[in-house]
Structure 1
Amino acid sequence: MKLTEYVHHWENILFLVFCLITLIQVFYYLFFFARLAFYKSKSKLISQTHPVSVIICSRDEAGNLVKNLPGVLIQQYRTTHEVIVVNDNSFDESKYILEEYQRTYKQLHLIELTQEARFIPGKKFPLSIGIKTAKHEIVLLTDADCVPASEFWIEKMQEGFTNGTEIVLGYGALHKKKGFFNKLVRWETLHTALQYLSYAKAGLTYMGVGRNLSYKKSVFFRHKGFSSHNHVPGGDDDLFINKAATKKNTAIVIDKDAFTLSEPPKTWKQWIRQKNRHYSTSKYYKAIHKFLLGLYAFSHFLFYPLFILSILFYDWEQALIIFGIRFFIQGIILFKVTRKLDERDLFPWYLLLDIWMFFYYLLFSTAIFKKPKGTWK
């Protein structure tokens, strides 16, 4: 084979690989992500409310409790509910702040933990205690650094429990702040939600976020709580949902009143530490979920380098056509998703933020191989 023929041969292969990677990306957008983009909650003829136990685990969160707990305590919910705060071995003034709130809000119940659980790292032990103490079948989880987006958070989240539903996934958004760094971290949060909410609608639920998650005590006890992954510091939200969710027992709620809001990381170091902790649990997912998530990330990572190489070494016009197909489909779906999840300000930046994901994958690719730390704070 002559040199020119050899080069031309590899140019063709390069372009075909680019087309294949684009096809995979388009498949994910049309088969998975479109489910969230065009999702409409079913209107109910009869509105039913259930007793709810809200559970918050806290460790040295005095400042966050002062700032965020009132948003949970003033919820407008006409049915019986309680708010349980598990104060896990705090050394700050959390205990006294919670006792002061308890004098005003009778629905607030406190659990003081003064000893560390042996051989159970992370948040699983305090959360298990909170769930076992809860009076009601439906438990609604959030974190001390989160605040409900509205006074109807409990009401909207519990509406997801229709016949057969045992798990309800919500959206835990980040506060909007000035600066492009805030857009980067919020885009990653949106991108994660795009995946886990869409997969849930496809009957392939693989995770939820502890900032806004609800399930029934019965499903918790049926799966023996967190016993199968007690040795892993993280995973009280994603690993449990990965195990307990089925095609038919999980619902999503994306009403804006049902969102929670939390403070975004302020520095790169803080964000990297947070994401490394989260991604270190993904190695324990079911095989089908690891394959689907891995294939999407791999194709996403390769898309822009192959696009550039196809422009340089194949045919820039054909490369642009293939790029344009993905760009058009992606734009329609992201336009609708950013509106559903109240992240409209991110849409004008979506091409730049999508390119950023190439560097994001490089930055966090090693997290799945790292051993997670034994503390949850």
Structure 2
Amino acid sequence: MLVLFVALLTAGLLNLCYYFGFFKFALNSFQEPGKDSTKPVSVIICAKNEAENLRKFVPSILNQNYHNFELILINDASSDDTLEVIEEFQELDPRVKIVNVQNNEAFWANKKYALTLGIKKAVNPYLLFTDADCEPQSPDWITQTTAHFKEPKTIILGYGGYFINKKSLLNKLIRFETLLTAIQYFSYAQWGMPYMGVGRNLAYTSTEFYRQNGFASHLHIRSGDDDLFVNEAATPENTAISVHPSSFTRSIPKNSFKKWFIQKRRHVSIAGNYKLQHRFMLGVFYVSQLLFWILFIAALFTEYRNFALIVLAVRLLVQGTVYYNAAKKLQETDVVWLFPFLELFLICAQFGIFISNLISKPAHWK
């Protein structure tokens, strides 16, 4: 029984090491760069069967308080009215440029192929990416994000959250998982180990894209245009984070657990292609979480239950401090109060995703 408690304490301490490391991001205030609206920016959106979302969200980009930008809208072989909607926007605004991607047998349903064509179409050196179902949370989104492009910074990691539905528990789970992921990739970037970004809010220079030969090294992998590119290209010197609320985007979350599960299966399968040190660090974090809860539940049935409860209380206190301050920074505070339950649920879901991906891996981005 003593071995069980020592194992619980070890897993808890290992897990806490990560959370203490997250304190820097959660507690520090960030000095944002001064606004700069002079950089020539190309905003790029790849859309596949997104006619309704484009109608809804493209105006929020065209109405940005930024004058030196173009909007590249990519129709990735859609079967709905996506191309017609894009053409309507082009008729209304000369800043809109169209890339119409036809299905190519060699690159069937490969978003990276479509994005590459969009990037080649861009005439500006600063590239800002978001998704068709995303909405910038401020008319200063372009300004705040691209202001971080100062030598030697060529990659900017932004926050892409999800729209809030306070009545939905699934919505809270999705946003809690998004919050935890953001805490990790922002913190790792601060540690000098940038490992991923999200395509809902990501920026890099065209020079950086061509320096990496685009997506060539992972073009055979259907997804991962955002995180695999960052994992390959990002360094402590060339990467910055943007956490000003005006630089946030929000997008439409999945409306069923099944759809979210499928989406996360794809994301997790891509993470298996990260650099070894990143896979190791992320793996240890997840395993230490899983082991802690297994060992804690087991310890409740031994004479060490009181000590186990003390370990849990310390862990929850440290976690709560990190989550609350990070959530306040990223405007997700309503998920904090449920974090022990959401963490347990997420751990179980991730374990199920891991098992599912061992059996088969998802192939297409849509």
TM-score of the pair, normalised by structure 1? 0.93
1:277 is matched with which residue: 247, 252, 266? 266
- On the 8 A contact 1:168/1:250 being kept in 2, the answer is yes
1:12 corresponds to which letter in structure 2?
L
2:134 is matched with which residue: 146, 152, 167? 146
Matches within 5 A, 1:155-304: 155-177=143-165, 178-304=167-293
The residue number in structure 1 matching 2:83 is 95
Deviation, structure 1 residue 114: 2.3
* Counterpart-to-counterpart distance in 2, 1:262 and 1:192: 16
The residue number in structure 2 matching 1:22 is 12
The residue number in structure 1 matching 2:122 is 134
Percent identical residues: 38
* Counterpart-to-counterpart distance in 1, 2:137 and 2:36: 22
The residue number in structure 2 matching 1:114 is 102
1:187 corresponds to which letter in structure 2?
F
The residue number in structure 2 matching 1:34 is 23
| Deviation per residue, 1:289-332 (Å, 9 max, x gap) | 00000000000111112112222214222112211221111111
Please state whether the residue corresponding to 2:80 is helix, strand or coil.
Answer: coil
* Counterpart-to-counterpart distance in 1, 2:206 and 2:351: 39
2:143 corresponds to which letter in structure 1?
E
| Deviation per residue, 1:14-46 (Å, 9 max, x gap) | 100101001111100112x11220232225478
The residue number in structure 1 matching 2:70 is 82
Please state whether the residue corresponding to 2:161 is helix, strand or coil.
Answer: strand
Q: In the superposition, relative to structure 1, how do residues 283 and 323 fare at CA in structure 2: closer, same or farther (>3 Å)?
A: same
Q: In the superposition, relative to structure 1, how do residues 97 and 116 fare at CA in structure 2: closer, same or farther (>3 Å)?
A: same
The residue number in structure 2 matching 1:355 is 344
The CA RMSD over aligned residues, in Å, is: 1.6
1:114 corresponds to which letter in structure 2?
Q
Please state whether the residue corresponding to 2:250 is helix, strand or coil.
Answer: strand
2:113 is matched with which residue: 125, 132, 135? 125
| Deviation per residue, 1:122-169 (Å, 9 max, x gap) | 200010111111111110001111111111111111012122101000
1:115 corresponds to which letter in structure 2?
N
- On the 8 A contact 2:11/2:288 being kept in 1, the answer is yes
Please state whether the residue corresponding to 1:209 is helix, strand or coil.
Answer: coil
Q: In the superposition, relative to structure 1, how do residues 46 and 346 fare at CA in structure 2: closer, same or farther (>3 Å)?
A: closer
Please state whether the residue corresponding to 1:323 is helix, strand or coil.
Answer: helix
- On the 8 A contact 1:281/1:368 being kept in 2, the answer is no
Unaligned 5+ runs, structure 2: none
Q: In the superposition, relative to structure 1, how do residues 137 and 157 fare at CA in structure 2: closer, same or farther (>3 Å)?
A: same
| Matched positions, count | 365
* Counterpart-to-counterpart distance in 2, 1:57 and 1:63: 14
Please state whether the residue corresponding to 2:301 is helix, strand or coil.
Answer: helix
1:183 corresponds to which letter in structure 2?
K
* Counterpart-to-counterpart distance in 1, 2:35 and 2:115: 33
Please state whether the residue corresponding to 1:55 is helix, strand or coil.
Answer: strand
2:47 is matched with which residue: 53, 58, 63? 58
| Deviation per residue, 1:328-372 (Å, 9 max, x gap) | 111111110110110011111112212223312222122553554
* Counterpart-to-counterpart distance in 2, 1:105 and 1:85: 12
Deviation, structure 1 residue 192: 1.2
* Counterpart-to-counterpart distance in 2, 1:43 and 1:151: 17
- On the 8 A contact 1:282/1:368 being kept in 2, the answer is no
- On the 8 A contact 1:53/1:135 being kept in 2, the answer is yes
* Counterpart-to-counterpart distance in 1, 2:9 and 2:226: 36
